[in-house]
Amino acid sequence: MSELLSYHPEAALAVLPGGLSRDLARALESARQDTLNDVEIWQSGQIPQDREPLDAGFIQWPEELLADLQLHGSASLVARLNTCGARLRDQADSLVVLGIGGSYMGMRAMSESLRSPFWNELSREQRNGCPRLYFEGWNVDTDNQRALLQLLQNRAEQSGQTPEGRTAVIVISKSGGTLETAVAFRLFRDLIEASSAAAARDLIVPVTGLQGRLRSLAEASGWSDAFTIPDGIGGRFSVLTPVGLLPAAASGMNITALLQGAAAMTEHFRTAPFESNVVLQYVAVGHAFEQKCGATTRILSTWGSRLEAVGLWYDQLLSESLGKHERGATPLTVVNTRDLHSRGQQHQEGRRDKLITNLLPGVSSQDSLQVPPHRHDQDQLNRLAGTSLQKILQAAIDGTNQAYADDRRPTADIRLPLLNEHVLGQLFQMLMLATVVEGRLVGTNPYGQPGVEAYKKNMQANLGL
Ligand code: PA5
């Protein structure tokens, strides 16, 4: 097990007028209690109208799944996900995950954080027998989908009915009716069934709610496996349900460690006092800067491309949960040092409406590259010969934070001890809990996304559906 991630708001607090007040600490204690009480209210099935919708099931879900694993072993959900994941791995070398919003962003975050950025270009052996991974169904984009269908078709023609030629599809939709995903599924289903209707039974796996069109399709189609997204866990809170866990298992990730990391964070959230509670401190700082300094833009500054998709997952979580009633901070993910050369100017000298949180990936699992010496030293880099890229990056991180501090621009750090499944599980759970706590603090129901329905309704009407 990895140590717990940590949160360091000292540099931000140094420029917060009056610091964090006792009143805010008390209000957050009460929001923590509300968040935990939600679990019991939800479990009781007696949800008062002013609490609807209530999707608090994600809070205790990792603990429930781990208990189920301990109690039921090979009959547990974790074991069934691992078995199905192993089957998909063995039978297919390309895996397409179809989903949109909460039904794909978490898996994308895991894939980009934990795998080689050139994963799909590695040989099957270099990928330890795990499939290439593609995400679709998150747009209506002929160019992308045609190109992917063609690529997979070519692979099927070259390698026939071998794992190298086969594609598996995990289609994910809680409602089962999201048009983007459903349309993409038709196209990819055709591709798979065209190669072998019998093989398709094993190569298509739906992950969906208990009811809806995809559930009905699953019941009618006789696919070997189907997984359920439990009631009481909303899309953007579902990364640790089969939504994220099945593709993670198929990709050879340790899903038990993901759950253990999340469970450790829930326990920390429940028990740690305000002063050392990473969830409560994170919410306190964001809220205090918004209230006292008008910092309505929250920048998640990821250092290294691996964490960009985690940031995009968080952008969705915060926007859909708290962007309601003409309120809610605007999240924005940047990747540094790339974006120091685009947004950096504005963050350094633009409006004072930003709180910057660095997301630091910790010790690199690989030995860092070093600057090589060269006999042509016109670029004058021989003085850095032998210096690791890690050290150069650290100089950029420190230099950037110093520049912000010199101009009294607030920064805080989320420091990850390293990047693995356990730590990602912690981070997901921390940010989901923080989002709910902030909602309870400001009186915004963090669950549901009524605003998203408007475009869906219009789109369907435009199509005569
Ligand atoms: O957070 C949410 O609930 C949404 O982002 C959904 O995940 C997204 O709209 C996809 O919905 P569905 O899984 O029903 O296709």
Inside any domain, residue 376? no
The residue among 203, 224, 253 that closes a domain is 253
In this structure, the answer to whether residues 297 and 205 fall within a common structural domain is: no
Mean pLDDT over 339-363 rounds to: 95
Are 69 and 149 part of one and the same domain? yes
439 shares a domain with 307: yes
- Confirm whether 186 is domain-assigned: yes
pLDDT band at residue 362 using 50, 70 and 90 as cut-offs: confident
**Span 213-227, average pLDDT:** 96
CATH number, domain of 21, equals 3.40.50.10490
Q: Read off the pLDDT of residues 72-125 as tens digits, 9 standing for 90 and up.
A: 999 999 999 999 999 999 999 999 999 999 999 999 999 999 999 999 999 999
Any domain includes 160: yes
Residues in the ligand 1 pocket, defined by CB under 6 Å:
100-103, 173-175, 178, 181, 234-236, 320, 449
How confident is the model over 131-179, as pLDDT tens digits? 999 999 999 999 999 999 999 999 999 987 788 899 999 999 999 999 9
pTM for this predicted structure: 0.97
Q: Give residue 366's pLDDT band: very low, low, confident or very high (50, 70, 90).
A: low
Based on the domain organization, do 217 and 328 belong to the same domain? no
φ/ψ bin of 128: left (φ > 0), alpha (ψ from -120 to 50), beta (otherwise): left
CA atoms within 13 A on the CB side of 10: 4
CB of 286 closer than 8 Å to CB of 355: yes
Task: Examine the domain organization and report whether 240 and 140 are in the same domain.
Answer: yes
The number of angstroms, rounded, from the C-alpha of 284 to the middle of its chain's C-alpha atoms is 22
Q: Is the pLDDT of residue 56 over 90?
A: yes
Per-residue pLDDT of 242-283, as tens digits, reads 999 999 999 999 999 999 999 999 999 999 999 999 999 999
Instruction: Please write the tens of the pLDDT for every residue from 274-327.
Output: 999 999 999 999 999 999 999 999 999 999 899 999 999 999 999 999 999 999
What's residue 365's pLDDT? Answer: 54
Based on the domain organization, do 187 and 223 belong to the same domain?
A: yes
Among the candidates 220, 253, 286, a domain finishes at 253
45 with 140, same domain?
A: no
In the predicted structure, residue 2 carries a pLDDT above the cut 90: no
pLDDT for 227 equals 98
328 Cβ contact partners less than 8 Å away, ≥ 6 residues apart: 318, 319, 321, 322, 444
- Are residue 98 and residue 183 in the same domain, yes or no? yes
376 catalytic, yes or no? no
Total domains present in the chain:
2
pLDDT for 364 equals: 67
Residues 24 and 94 in one domain: no
Range of the domain at 219: 58-253
* Whether residues 29 and 69 fall in one domain: no
Q: How far apart are CA 333 and CA 331, in angstroms?
A: 7
Residue at 129 is within a domain: yes
Residue type (1 letter), 132: R
Residue 267 lies in a domain: no
> What number is the average pLDDT over the span 390-414?
97
pLDDT averaged over every residue in the chain: 96
Q: State the catalytic residue, choosing from 180, 320, 421, 438.
A: 320
Query: How far does residue 240's CA lie from ligand 1's centre (Å)?
Result: 14
Pocket test for ligand 1, best of 54, 58, 175 (most atoms within 8 A of CB): 175
Which of 199, 220, 253 finishes a domain?
A: 253
Same domain, residue pair 40 and 83 = no
**Which residue from 174, 180, 231 has its CB within 8 A of the most atoms of ligand 1, so it is best to mutate?**
174
Whether 75 maps to a domain, the answer reads yes
Residue 380 domain-assigned?
no
CA 236 / ligand 1 centre spacing (Å): 7
Residue 268 belongs to a domain:
no
The verdict on whether 341 is a catalytic residue reads yes
Residues 292 and 417 in one domain: yes
